[in-house]
Structure formats: structure tokens, C-alpha cells
Chain A
Amino acid sequence: MPPSIHPVDLVATLRQRNLTPAIIFLTSRRACDEAMQSFERSQVTLPKAQQEQIARVLTQVTEQFPSIAEHPLIETVQRIGVAAHHAGHLPSWKIAVEELMRTGSLDAVFATTTLAAGVDFPARTVVVTQSSIRKARDFTDLSASEIQQLAGRAGRRGKDLVGFAVITPSPYIDLTVLTKGLTGQPEAIHSQFVITYPMVLNLLKAHPREQIQSILAKSFAQFQLNQRTAVLETKLDSLRAEMEPFGPRVCSDWITQWQVFEQARKRKKPRSPFARQESPDVAARLHFLTPGRVVGVTRGRGIILRQYRSKGQHAPMVTLLREGGSLNECPASIVTQVFDRTFDCEETSSYPWCTPQTLEELTHHLTELPPRLPILPILAHQHEETPIDSSIIHTLGDFACPTCPSRQACQRDFPRASRVRQEIQRHIKSIQALQTSLWHRFQERIDVLEKFGYLNANAQLTADGEWARLIRIDHSLLITELIRAEAFGAIDPPLLAAIMASIAHDDDRPGSFPRGSTGLVTLLFQVRKLAESLTPHEAPPMLRADVAALTERWVSDQTLTWIGLARLTTMAEGDMFRLFARTIEFLSQLKTLKATHPSLAESADHAIAAMRRGVLEELP
């Protein structure tokens, strides 16, 4: 089975079923043209009467637009009653096809889906061969609105009792997208409001800065933001209701209180039970209080037999053999001096903690000791607690929580209450953001314009701003900056038109084009550099040198015919036409600067006059 039905067979089937005239939507211009070519080889010919009717309509249109007369497709269209209609064609040819459809002379038209909105003629049948559409280099599924827009062309009021939308599969089809689109509701539309530089300049020209916010509030964007705000506000209300049981308790802001308390409690290190009890002096001495060490106590001296911690408080303790032979269990703090003298001590694990022999020896040594002994200098390590800890200890003292009567309730409700409170704050913030976002964006634009000197510090238009506000097209910042940089000082009309064309053109279809003059290449290089430097503030245009060169040719060489121009490039006629029409639009904006930039305006005027000839003059 072929991946999709052959165009000739398709039209034949439609004819046979009496479903003509039909609009057949194809994926690309190329598909439309190929479909037309496939008819050239077919043997189909229309009955004489219909051929004559087509010829009659075409003659009528040709009177208005003489350029159609030379169109290469006329013969085929007349023979087979089928035509193509897409953006690659000249508007005059499209008008001719539309007129043919309106008079019912054609059986089918191949059109691209992209141009569904521009196809302003109905038919009995619409054929859809795809479910996705190329948007910015990527295929996106058709939306319900788009599908209904396509299907909407089916059924001519007053000429048809029913209209038909026929789906025929091609490799690019997903049937569910189409059936859902046909049976579904069209999508809601959303504001695409952006703040442009000309908008800022024009608004500030007419209104003081204080009023701008109220003007922005009138936009559909703000209206839809307000709808979102309303949703958030209902949510906020329900959150506030949820918050109700967590109102003021013993303290009015108990959630914060508890939160800080919790933090303080968590941050506080668990204090070591040993460190808590002993002073730095004692702690430092402990290391020297080994069995056999001679120490001085408040009254008299003694020898340490063992060192240990008391059971309950883990206080450092020592067992001391004192003068007179008594064994005392005393806290380590009793030791006042540590002498530089130790004796061997054979330890045991139970009272008296050393062998009787050692005890005897030690008792003996103790009596024999000289009255003055060298004292070990012991440096007490001043273990300071870190300030944060002390501060926490300090604050903890301020908290009433540990003894508060509502402590249990606070502890229980805290997780939920704090979550709800966070949500509430988040919502309040989003609502604020929604309400001020347009104004912030406007403010950003003001800042940029002020930086470039179109506005003064009070957001009033400077002399430059006064004329710059008249440039109300895409890439306005680049154009006004070019004018200020005097890039167009005493520019030739062809060069000016070429630069404007490269700024205006936003299509990236490749092709072959004539070469530009050296002057154009140099100037375009400068324009590119400037555009790059403006990138943070304005997306740069494509600035294609090839379309610029094409425009330059058309303007500079007045003897060049449209056909001659079309031979220089692979660009489609329709694209060329659109490029020039848009360039003329841009140039006519420059023409409005007559008062401040007379030579530029004059040059633009000449360029427009030079561009308007042949097809461009005849056409609307």
C-alpha cells in the first residue's frame, strides 16, 4: 500500500463521489507543487465548458493584474481544473486562484496548512492529510482551533447543503489528534502581551510615568493575570480558614516562637556530662593524677592510688593515700598541687587498689618525702565555649516554652501550622508578583531606554526619544541605534533598502542568491556588530546578506524585471514579494522621520519609489 493516496487518484475519487470543489491541505509548499506536477503527466482533461469558464475568470483577473498572464501554471490549471495555493506564490496568483474557487471553476486546490488562516475561500470538501504542523522548525500537533479552522472551510453557505472534512492518512498522521480536534472544544486563548520599546516611548510621550501602571492594568494580559490572582485568592482564603485554629495562644505569634525555640534546641550541642562538672583546672590536672603520683591537698600531702568517676554525677574522683596511712575517696578537686614525683604502684582491681606490698612501700615513702617538692606547672586549658552556644544558652533562658501550659498543643500543631503559614506567604508573594509583573517589565524597558539616552532620569522623552518613538516596528532599538550611530549618514537608497530588508526578513529558508556589493558587505558587517552588542536588550534579527543583496539588486538596477530577478535566486516569488513589501513597510517608517533626519527620509522615499515597480506596483 502506498504511504498516502496519489493526488491524481485523490482528486478522481472526490470527483467521482461528487465531493468537489475541495481544498486539499498538504504539509509543505513542496508537496503542493509536486502534487501539481503529478497532474502534468496524467491524462485527465476537463470538459470544454469548464475550461472555458476558467479561462474567462482568469482573463478577468489578468485585467487587474497583468503579471498573471505569464504564469507557467495557467495551462495546467485550465486543463485539469486543479491549482496550488501557498505562500510561495505571488499574491496576484493567489487572488486568481481564490477567484476561480469563488466562481466554482476549479475542482481542487492544494494548499498548505500553515496558511489555513489566510485561505479565505470555502469549498464543499476539505481534505486533511496531516495532524501536525511545522512551527519554528518543530512539528506540533494541530490544536482543536486549528483543525476546526481547516474544517471550517468545508461547506459553502448558500451553495452546499453539507460540507465534508475527509481525512486521508499520510506518514504524518495521528488519527486521534484529528478526531479529538474535530469533536472537541476550541482552546481558550491567552494574552501574548509583551512590552516593546516603541510602546514604552509612546506611552511615556502621552502619559506621565505615574499613570502607566493603570494603563498596563487595562491590558488583557493583566485581565488574565487577575483571573489567576482570583484563583490564588480563593486558595488563600481557604488556607486562612485552615489557619484559624492556630490563632494566638499564650504568645501571640506562637508559631515563630516555637520555631525559634525548636531551632535553638536543635542547635545546642548535647553537653558532655563530664565537661559539665569540672572546672578547666581540674580537667587539666586529671591527666597527671595517675597511681603513684604525689599530690598536695589542702592539709598535708598524699599519693594517688586510683582515679575514677563517681557513679551518679560522673565527677572525677581519686583514691588518696594520706599521711598517717588512711585511704580516702575524695573528689579530684581536692588536689591543690601536683608534685613532680611518682612512685611505682602495682595496681589491683579492688580495695585498696594496689598490692599490700606497694601500699606498705608507699606509706613508707610518704613519710620519707622531703618537705619541699618541685611542683608541676600545669597549664589549665581554658576551654571556652563557642559564642553561639553561649548565645543559645542565653536565649533558651528567655523561652517560656519549656514551662508554658500550651507547650503540648504547640508541639502537636507546629508542623501543620507552619506548613500552612508558609503556603499562605507563598500565595501572597505570587499574588503580588502577578499584580506587579507587567509594571516591572515596563520598568526594565525604561531602564534600558534611559541607558541608551532615549529617556531622561525622570522617564521623559529626550530629543532622541521624540523621533525614536515613530519607529514602531520589530527591531526598533537596532534601527534607532543605527540612525544615531549615523550608519545611514548619506546612504544610497539601494543600500538603505538592502539593510532594511535584512532586518525585516525573518525566514531561514536557504537558497541561492546574487552577491552584494562591497559597500553592502561592509555596512552589513557593522550592522551585525551593533546588533550583537544589543543582544541583551533586543533579540537580533537574522541579517541575511543574501536577501539584502537581492533587494539591493532590485533597487539599484531599474531595468531588472521581476522575472529577471526571480532568475537570480531560488527564493519563491511569494517570499520575494513579502520580503519587499515588508521592506517597504520598514522604509516608510523611516520616512516619518522627515523632520529630524531629512536626508534619511529622502533616501527612504527614493528607495520606496525605486522598489515599487513591476509586480510590486500592480499589486495591492
Chain B
Amino acid sequence: MNTHELERLLMQQPVSLLHRLARGRISRHFRSGKRKLVDLLLQASAENRPGLESDLQALIDQRAERPQPAPVENTRPPQARSRQDVPAPSRPHRTDDHGHHEPPVSLHEWLSGIGVPPPQPFVPDAWQVEALEKLAETDVVVSVPTGSGKTYVAIEATARAMRENRTVIYTSPLKALSNTKFTEFSRVFGPGQVGILTGDRREHSQAPLLIMTTEILRNLLYDAAGGEIDVRLDTLGLVIMDESQYLADPERGVVWEETLIFCPSQARLLLLSASIGNPQDIADWLTAIRPTPCSLIRHTKRSVPLRAGYLHPNEKLTPLFRTAGIPYGQPHLLHPEAKRLFMEYEEETGPSRSR
């Protein structure tokens, strides 16, 4: 909708609607006439035109839903009438909407589909297959949303390396995570095949798969560089670094960098990371400093779709956004009901909100 169209549409609306629209946008809007009000609205929302448009649409829709005692003038014409004999004021933009002028999703719709998917044979996702294929040739950086199945890639890559009699090192940032993975991998590969090395624990340190905190691996690499060569580093075939977004941790990030810089060149690297903004940078960096190139596997789609909701303190639940899913890149597409409830909440708890 361009400014001209928007202005025309605003002029067609009753003043009361414009005043409602002006709430929170313009101070002392009650003093201005219709013409002035429209101008002020356009001015005030110069920065956030889509916000104004969606609010306007929401108000028009609300009006349309309410039974009108007066002769219908500004509401949508009933479906029965043909387009020719009624100059429908709100018609033009409804035909060329871009998705956010659809009526907001209902709670029922939003809640639908809860349930357990029927058991299916496990089929790896395309990105998982691609990551494993790439790993045969290059180092790999994986940046995918939480819960996408990074562990599958780690396990499969480990199994392949172990078949070739190569040692695998798996690092995680937290001792707790190392322990969880130790239990998990022991289940998969058998207890004798998995070892763990953390600051205060050492078990099966000669196993083909070693789980350790990143600090331990860094120390091993320093020892190797300092001459106390650990023989096992020669057979090292794969280094998996879980949660590698820790690279940006203010205190411990440096350990990840040291480890990656000194990682033996014959070992493949598999970096598993949650979604980050610049995974390509990491892949480029690794390509620049290591003899093997580094490929990036990145996707942003979650394997289980996400919906966002808003739960009011009075236990009323509504969808958070107008769409059922998350409207990526459009944070302003709030569900009118959620917006109304939250404004109500803010008004009531207003002064105490300052922390």
C-alpha cells in the first residue's frame, strides 16, 4: 500500500476509528479534526508503516464483525453483492494483500495439531546426509537450530571414523554435557569403546572415542606441540566440537580458538553449533588456516515447527502472532488479542515495571 492509498483508506474511516488508531501514536489527538488526524497518523507512523497498516486493518475487521445498527457505509460489503455496484472502500487492498491482512489465527487453529507423530522409520534429513558426505572430503561446520539432530551426525561420523580405525575426540563445553554424552555414546558404541577425560575424571583413556572438555583437548595439543608427544594424536581422525558457538564466550572462547588453531592437520573437524549469524565466517576462517577446505551446512528451518503463544495472568491463552507459525522478520505482526491483553497488563502494572 503506498502513502496515497493509505491516506485515502484512512479518510474513508469514521473519526472514532481514527482516534482509536491514534492512541499511543499521537498525544492529544482529540483536538484535531479528521484531516489533521490523518496527517498526524501518517507522520507519526512514517517509521513503522506496516504497523499502522496492520492496526488499521485489525480495527476495520473488528468493526466489520460487530453488528452495525446504522446503514452500512464503511464496512465490508456482504459477499452476496457483486463488486460492480458497490464501491467497496476496503476492497482494493484486500485483493492484493501480502499475507498479513488475513484474519488473525484463532486459538483453536493455533492449538490444533498437538500430538505425537506416528512412529516412522528413522530417515536422516537432507542436511544430515549432506554433512556426512561433505565430511568425507572436507572439514564441516554445521549451524542448525537447537534440536535439529546434530547428535545423529556426530554419532554417524564417529562410527565411520572408528571403522577406519581412527581415533575420535568429542569435545563439549560443559562437564555436565560431557557426562551426558558419555552415557549416551556408551549406550551406542558399547562401554569399552568410549572414554572420558575431564578436569576431574578419567575413564577408558585409551578408547577409540574420547569425550572431553575443550580445555583438556587444548592441553593435549599444547603438550604435543611442546614435545611430550601423545602417540594417539597421530591416529586422530576426527575432532567433533559440540556447541561451538562457545567460540564467542567472553571467558572461554579463547580455548576454542587455540584448539582449532593447533588441531592436527590430518584430523577432520566437525563443528556443531546452534544457529548463529555468521557461520560462513567460521567456515572461511577454517578454510584459511587449515590444509583442507571447510564446508558449511546451514539451515534455519526447525524440524518440529514452532508456534508462539501469549498467556495472560488471568489464564487466558492466545496466539502471540497473527499467523500460526513464527512470522520470521516481521515482529510487529502481533495477534490483536495478545496485543490488547499485553497493553492491559502494562497499564495495570505500569509504575512497578521499572526494575
- Closest A residue, CB atoms, query B339: A175
Contacts of A581 in B (CB 8 A): 175, 199-200
Q: Across chains A and B, which 4 residue pairs bring their CB atoms closest together, nearest first?
A: A152-B146, A155-B304, A585-B199, A192-B253
A620 at the interface (CB under 8 A from B): yes
B127 at the interface (CB under 8 A from A): no
Contact B306 A151 (CB under 8 A): yes
A167 at the interface (CB under 8 A from B): yes
Choose one: A95, A161, A194, A215; the contact of B113 (CB below 8 Å). Answer: A161
Contact A206 B352 (CB under 8 A): no
Contacts of B200 in A (CB 8 A): 581, 584-585, 588, 608
Nearest Cβ on chain A to B339's Cβ, whole angstroms: 9
Choose one: A152, A165, A202; the contact of B309 (CB below 8 Å). Answer: A165
A62 at the interface (CB under 8 A from B): no
Contact B147 A157 (CB under 8 A): yes
Which one of B147, B196, B327 has the highest number of Cβ atoms from chain A below 10 Å of its Cβ?
Answer: B147
Known pairs A172-B355, A218-B289; A161 contacts B257 (CB<8 A): no
Contacts of A257 in B (CB 8 A): none
Contacts of B329 in A (CB 8 A): 183-184
Contact B285 A220 (CB under 8 A): yes
- Closest A residue, CB atoms, query B226: A205
Known pairs A153-B147, A171-B349; A5 contacts B315 (CB<8 A): yes
> What are 19 residue pairs bridging A and B, where the CB atoms are less than 8 Å apart in the complex?
A19-B114, A120-B180, A139-B355, A148-B146, A149-B146, A155-B302, A161-B117, A162-B304, A162-B305, A165-B306, A167-B320, A182-B326, A186-B276, A189-B277, A206-B226, A215-B261, A219-B261, A221-B257, A223-B289
CA A117 to CA B276, docked complex, whole Å: 14
Choose one: A117, A118, A169, A186; the contact of B345 (CB below 8 Å). Answer: A169
CA A430 to CA B187, docked complex, whole Å: 54
- Closest B residue, CB atoms, query A139: B355
Contact A191 B247 (CB under 8 A): yes
Choose one: A122, A139, A171; the contact of B353 (CB below 8 Å). Answer: A171
- Closest A residue, CB atoms, query B174: A118
CA A154 to CA B111, docked complex, whole Å: 14
B260 at the interface (CB under 8 A from A): yes
Nearest Cβ on chain B to A389's Cβ, whole angstroms: 58
- Closest B residue, CB atoms, query A13: B315
Contact A188 B276 (CB under 8 A): yes
Contact B355 A187 (CB under 8 A): no
- Closest B residue, CB atoms, query A172: B355
Contacts of B281 in A (CB 8 A): 188, 223-224, 227
Contact with B along A446-487 (1 / 0, CB 8 A): 000000000000000000000001001000000000000000
Within 8 A of B (CB), among A573-620: 581-582, 584-585, 588, 608, 620
- Sample of 17 further A-B pairs with CB below 8 A, known A161-B116, A165-B306, A183-B330: A3-B349, A95-B179, A117-B174, A117-B243, A148-B275, A155-B306, A157-B147, A165-B309, A169-B342, A179-B321, A182-B308, A184-B328, A185-B277, A192-B247, A194-B254, A196-B254, A205-B226
Contact with B along A203-236 (1 / 0, CB 8 A): 0011100000001001111011001000000000
Within 8 A of B (CB), among A131-162: 139, 145, 148-149, 151-162
Contacts of B116 in A (CB 8 A): 159-161
B145 at the interface (CB under 8 A from A): yes
Contact A166 B282 (CB under 8 A): no
B78 at the interface (CB under 8 A from A): no
Nearest Cβ on chain A to B348's Cβ, whole angstroms: 5
Known pairs A9-B315, A183-B330, A469-B226; A149 contacts B274 (CB<8 A): yes
Contacts of B226 in A (CB 8 A): 202, 205-206, 469
Contact with A along B313-332 (1 / 0, CB 8 A): 11101001100001111111
B248 at the interface (CB under 8 A from A): yes
Contact with A along B114-132 (1 / 0, CB 8 A): 1111011000000000000
Nearest Cβ on chain A to B99's Cβ, whole angstroms: 14
B230 at the interface (CB under 8 A from A): no
Contact A167 B309 (CB under 8 A): yes
Choose one: B245, B305, B311, B330; the contact of A189 (CB below 8 Å). Answer: B245
Chain A-chain B contacts (Cβ-Cβ < 8 Å), number = 254
A553 at the interface (CB under 8 A from B): no
- Closest B residue, CB atoms, query A176: B331
Known pairs A164-B307, A182-B331, A189-B276; A206 contacts B227 (CB<8 A): yes
Interface residues on A, range: 35 or more
Known pairs A171-B349, A469-B226; A189 contacts B247 (CB<8 A): yes
Contacts of B334 in A (CB 8 A): 175, 179
Contact B313 A3 (CB under 8 A): yes
B136 at the interface (CB under 8 A from A): no
Within 8 A of A (CB), among B56-87: none
Which one of A98, A169, A176 has the highest number of Cβ atoms from chain B below 10 Å of its Cβ?
Answer: A169
Contacts of A219 in B (CB 8 A): 257, 261
Nearest Cβ on chain B to A450's Cβ, whole angstroms: 19
Contact A220 B247 (CB under 8 A): yes
Contact B199 A1 (CB under 8 A): no
Contacts of A194 in B (CB 8 A): 254
Known pairs A4-B313, A182-B331, A218-B261; A148 contacts B289 (CB<8 A): no
CA A188 to CA B282, docked complex, whole Å: 10
Choose one: B115, B179, B307; the contact of A620 (CB below 8 Å). Answer: B179
Contacts of A117 in B (CB 8 A): 173-174, 243
Measuring CB to CB, which residues of chain A are less than 8 angstroms from any residue of chain B? 1-5, 9-10, 13, 17-19, 91, 94-95, 98, 117-118, 120, 122, 124, 127, 139, 145, 148-149, 151-169, 171-172, 175-176, 179-180, 182-194, 196, 198-199, 202, 205-207, 215, 218-221, 223-224, 227, 469, 472, 581-582, 584-585, 588, 608, 620
Contacts of B258 in A (CB 8 A): 199
CA A182 to CA B306, docked complex, whole Å: 10
B204 at the interface (CB under 8 A from A): no
Nearest Cβ on chain A to B273's Cβ, whole angstroms: 9
Contacts of A168 in B (CB 8 A): 310-313
Contacts of A18 in B (CB 8 A): 111, 114
Contact B304 A163 (CB under 8 A): yes
CA A185 to CA B274, docked complex, whole Å: 12
B155 at the interface (CB under 8 A from A): no
CA A17 to CA B114, docked complex, whole Å: 10
CA A437 to CA B260, docked complex, whole Å: 21
- Closest A residue, CB atoms, query B289: A218
B288 at the interface (CB under 8 A from A): yes
CA A474 to CA B331, docked complex, whole Å: 42
Contact B177 A118 (CB under 8 A): yes
Contact A163 B254 (CB under 8 A): no
CA A4 to CA B311, docked complex, whole Å: 10
Contact B315 A152 (CB under 8 A): no
Contacts of A94 in B (CB 8 A): 176
- Closest A residue, CB atoms, query B328: A183
Nearest Cβ on chain B to A390's Cβ, whole angstroms: 60
Contacts of A162 in B (CB 8 A): 113-114, 304-307
CA A95 to CA B355, docked complex, whole Å: 34
Choose one: A156, A165, A202, A588; the contact of B225 (CB below 8 Å). Answer: A202
Contacts of B311 in A (CB 8 A): 5, 10, 13, 127, 166-168
Contact A91 B304 (CB under 8 A): no
Known pairs A169-B312, A187-B276, A588-B200; A160 contacts B117 (CB<8 A): yes
- Closest B residue, CB atoms, query A9: B315
Choose one: A183, A472, A585, A620; the contact of B222 (CB below 8 Å). Answer: A472
CA A191 to CA B342, docked complex, whole Å: 38
CA A18 to CA B321, docked complex, whole Å: 20
Nearest Cβ on chain B to A575's Cβ, whole angstroms: 14
Nearest Cβ on chain A to B25's Cβ, whole angstroms: 15
CA A159 to CA B342, docked complex, whole Å: 32
CA A202 to CA B223, docked complex, whole Å: 8
B190 at the interface (CB under 8 A from A): no
Nearest Cβ on chain B to A312's Cβ, whole angstroms: 67
Known pairs A98-B180, A175-B342, A192-B249; A5 contacts B278 (CB<8 A): no
Contact B308 A166 (CB under 8 A): yes
CA A1 to CA B332, docked complex, whole Å: 26
